[in-house]
Amino acid sequence: MDTQSGGTDAPGTLLAELDGVWRGEGVGDFPTIERFDYSEELSFDVRASESLLHYVQRTHLVDGEPSHSESGFVRWLEDGAIEVSNAQNSGRVEVLRGKVTGRPGAWTLELEAHVLGHDARVLQTRRSLRLAGDRLMYVMEMKTNTTDEPVLLQHLSARLTRSS
């Protein structure tokens, strides 16, 4: 099923496959920081009657030290678009929009930030999530004013497995 032409229920049907808890590992890197490895727990709670998912993401560095966390909502809109709004422990807030394409059990969600707040260093973010059965992979890219040339660069990538 191609959800771009599948009607307004299609995005919600696919995103509902995220319901539950996902765990795995990731890598962070950027020109202004040292590369780091992290573990992650990402939980989604489907609220179909509200046409949204609530999510909570928590990461820890390999030494067990808490790192990044964020919480937010994923909404599917009448035009088939997906909107993600989140608040992060650093104080940054984002609203991202995009589309989901694919079929049940194998889809991709591409998102780009339309609103960034409370972090003047970050100029743009982009996220790509790919579901393949019980595996969820993502890449997060960002453009900042802290690099010599502000271009979108990969910052995070992770592979998670459904644990419940």
**Close Cβ partners of 132 (under 8 Å, ≥ 6 residues apart):** 105, 106
Kindly report the number of other CB atoms within 10 A of residue 101's CB atom: 18
Give, as one character, the DSSP assignment of residue 65.
Answer: -
pLDDT per residue of the chain (164 residues) written in tens, 0 to 9? 344 434 435 788 899 999 999 999 999 999 999 999 999 999 999 998 888 999 999 999 999 999 999 999 999 998 999 999 999 999 999 999 999 999 999 999 999 999 999 999 999 999 999 999 999 999 999 999 999 999 999 999 999 999 98
**Residues recorded for the chain:** 164
Determine the pLDDT at residue 1: 36
- CA-to-CA separations, 64 to 60, 128, 130, in angstroms, rounded: 5, 26, 27
Maximum C-alpha span of the chain: 47
Nearest to 112 by CA among 128, 90, 100, 92: 128
Nearest to 80 by CA among 11, 2, 1: 11
Sorted by where each starts, the structural domains of the chain and their CATH numbers stand as 9-162 (2.40.128.20)
pTM: 0.91
Determine the pLDDT at residue 131: 98
